[in-house]
Amino acid sequence: MNRSARRRAKLLDKVLPWLSVIIFLLAWELLVRWRGIAPIFLPAPSSVAIFLWRMLADGTMEYHLGVTLLRIFAGFLIAAVTGIALGVLMGMSRIVSHVADIWIAALYPLPKISLIPLLIIWLGTGEAYRIVISAVTAFFPIVISTYSGIRQADRGLIKAAEDLGANTRQIQFKVVIPAAMPSILSGLQLGMGVTIILIVAAEMIGGSSQSGMGYLLISSGQVMETERVFASLVVLAVMGAAIMKLQQRADRIIAPWVAHDNR
């Protein structure tokens, strides 16, 4: 390939994905208009855009999005702190890992959504219930990734540190935990994913506070305001993508060696 052809191919690589989105939206719009599909069943993208704009203009979208984000970060923070702490303890102590193993084996496969009735009985339908259900769900992938990262820490690095005079404590804190960092970060990514799911689901089920994206979705759906449902879905998708991007960027700052790790 000569240079101009290669440049054209590169441009095509960039343009084509967006082009597919535009074509899809256009086809959707035309289909709805030509066939006269009722907006209650499938609104046209243009009217979804108008609704989205109105909801942003009067502040409802910002309010619900803000509430959901706060809950997500609260649940995630609790899961991250407790999950990493227990994972590290399990990696350091045989007793802790033996005891924790049986609990994790029993509770991890349980779909956490099935705990919702119990949590509502115990905690009611307020903030505590939503944050606990998301934290409990996110806790497991985080603790498991942390523990396996610590157990799989490179034996060679541990031996090298020992040879250079590190004691057991120093090996734990200066070698094993940093070596487990990539695994901990990927556990946090998994944890963030399920936190988002569980918060939105908990807002849909038995939420008494009447706030958050999940509430917005379910309340709009119940009164057949399909445009609002679609507008909320668009915002949720953008929110999820933005959180993931932010997390990847944070990972690169926390563990810059992972990208070019080829000792």
Partner 1 sequence: MDVVVEAVTQIWGEESTQVKALDQFSHCFRSGRFSCLLGPSGCGKSTLIQIVGGLEPATEGRVRVQDPQKAYSHRPLGADSVMVWQNLNLFPWRNVIDNIAFGLEMRGLSRAERYRRANALIASVGLRGFERHLPGQLSGGMRQRVALARALIMERPILLMDEPFAALDAQTKIVMQEELLKIFDQTHKTVLFVTHAIEEAILLGDEVVVMTARPGRIKEVIPVDLPRPRSLEIVSSKEFGALFDRTFHLIREEVTAAMAQQAAMVAAQS
User: Which residues of the shown chain bind partner 1 in the complex (CB under 8 A)?
Assistant: 154, 156-157, 159-167, 170, 174-175, 178-179, 181, 255-257, 259-263
DSSP state of 154: -
Name which of 3 and 263 has its Cβ closer to partner 1: 263
Q: How far is the CB of 179 from partner 1 (least distance, A)?
A: 8
Integer Cα distance of 100 and 150 in angstroms: 15
Q: Alpha-carbon distance 3 to 9, whole Å?
A: 10
Min dist. Cβ of residue 176 to partner 1 (A): 11
The Cα 126–Cα 46 span in angstroms is 36
Separation between Cα atoms, residue 39 and residue 226, nearest integer Å: 7
The burial of 182, by beta-carbon neighbours within 10 Å (0-12 exposed, 13-18 middle, 19 or more buried), is given as middle
Residue 239 or 255: the one with the smaller Cβ distance to partner 1 is 255
Considering the complex, state which of residue 94 and residue 260 has its C-beta at the smaller distance from partner 1. Answer: 260
Q: What does the alpha-carbon distance between residue 141 and residue 193 come to, in Å, rounded to a whole number?
A: 10
Q: In whole angstroms, how close is the CB of 225 to partner 1 at the nearest point? A: 51
Query: Least distance in Å: CB of 104 to partner 1?
Result: 28
Dihedral sign of CA atoms 84, 236, 16, 246 in order: negative
* CB of 175 or CB of 200, closer to partner 1: 175
Measured from the CB atom, the residue of 92 and 161 that comes closer to partner 1 is 161
- Residue 62: which residues within 8 A CB-CB, separation 6 or more? 56
Least distance between partner 1 and beta carbon 222 (Å)? 51
Nearest approach in angstroms of CB 163 to partner 1 is: 5
Between CA 155 and CA 182 the distance in angstroms is 16
CA neighbor of 136 nearest in space, from 161, 159, 113: 113
Q: How far is the CB of 161 from partner 1 (least distance, A)?
A: 7
For 145, the enclosing helix (H) or strand (E) is helix 127-151
181 vs 190 by CB, closer to partner 1: 181
Q: Which is nearer to partner 1, 122 or 257 (CB)?
A: 257
